[in-house]
Amino acid sequence: MTARVLVVDDIEANRRVMKAKLEARYYTVMLSHTGEHAISSAIHQQPDIILLDVMMPGMDGYEVCRQLKSNIATRHIPIVMLTALTDGDDRLRGLEAGADDFLSKPVDDFALFARLEALSRYNAVADELRTREAANPHTANFTEHEMSTLSKPASVLVVDQNNQEARRVAEALHKVGHEAETWIDAQKGGIKFKELDLIILALSGQRHDALKLCAQMRSLREARDFAIIVTCDEKDEQRAAEGLRIGASDVIQTPLDLQELQARVATQVRRKRYIQILRKRVDTGLELSVIDQLTGLYNRRYMLERLQLWMQRSSVDGKPVSVVAFDIDHFKTVNDVHGHEAGDLVLQEFSERLRTNIRPKDIACRPGGEEFLVIMPETPGDLAYIGAERIRHAIANEPFLVERKNEEIRVTVSAGVATHYGEDALLADLLHRADQALYKAKENGRNRIEKLAA
């Protein structure tokens, strides 16, 4: 998987060497020689990944990183900091500035391309989710609560047949606040994959096929979201690259630098949770686009889409589809006498009774106001009428309790049934016939069901 990479380094020879390496692997490369130029390039060219040198005259890499991560136009771009500094405090400073990853100079080719491969796959998912979220008018910037979840302690499982080494890794993660268990210890209580944030999987020196285990874990439905960091020694680099291909999120060479491990765990968990937040926001946005927020029933948009599909199916297989249009009798009086808050409570309770008195395949909708409609797939008019009567009884037989005012409100409903038998007819015609039947029910005294002949 390739990407557009911005290389930022004040030394021309370093830029040329990195450009040659990347282009040999078919990456598209852009170059910057100062922090100011890097910020401008990132804003206007929108690279997929930034490789940022730390030690630069004037504006150093830390400040460049801070400014890029504080700008809404560039904060989503992953930044890998390149540093000759080996002090753990310097690496921590980079992470605090917002860096997504770091590499030590001289940059090892395997480590470089492992990071780029992992970030390219991460970008592919994140970009798709951001695009879908941006198309949804109901979403806004991440909330303070959402942002706080990115850095919360993680649940980590360490898989290594060398249990002494596994416990050493787990202890290092405990020291920075994570919950970490070894595979051997976790098996005693049963491994709950769904609750895991990350797995550290040893590749080298194992009696089992660690890559096969990686693939099997990725195939588990409940385990597809957690991150996987593969550890390996130098001779297993090719197998580690295969691990990235089949689902690992990152690779670290052994012997492990525990500070580096702690930093990479934090990075992977942050990415995993960022994707989770985006997915949840997209799902919420999709739900908001088809769900009526007061009642939880489907809205008019969804109603029209589903009804059109069922009518088309009916035209093909000849099975009827019926609709029942409901209207709460004298609902204006409820609002006038008891207030709009009581009116909303009545609409919510009405919706609940409607929902509990239809079949699983029926589709309950609220087109608007006090109007409701139930789509009954593969249902002739006579059966739809019986279903509508069941709903009418459920509404009329029990008063609606307005708890805050300790009031009981008697509510009735009128309804009209219309059926499509596969004939050449428009959706608007079917809804019009249902409305005509509903008006007839109103004219004939309300609290009743009427059905028009097809």
Nearest to 105 by CA among 91, 123, 119, 117: 91
Q: Cα separation of 103 and 145, whole Å?
A: 31
CA–CA distances in Å: residue 149 to residues 69, 404, 432: 18, 36, 50
Catalytic residue among 370, 389, 407, 450: 370
Q: Where are the alpha helices (DSSP H) in 372-426?
A: 381-396
Enumerate residues 6+ apart whose C-beta is below 8 A from 435.
Answer: 325, 416
Catalytic residue status for 23: no
Cis peptide before 380 (omega within 30 of 0): no
Cis peptide before 377 (omega within 30 of 0): no
Question: Tokens 């060497």 identify what position?
Answer: 17
Q: Cα separation of 291 and 316, whole Å?
A: 29
Enumerate residues 6+ apart whose C-beta is below 8 A from 33.
Answer: 8, 9, 10, 12, 15
Helix axes 109-134 and 258-290, enclosed angle (nearest 10): 20
**Residue type (1 letter), 28:** T
Nearest to 38 by CA among 10, 60, 14, 8: 8
Active site residues: 370
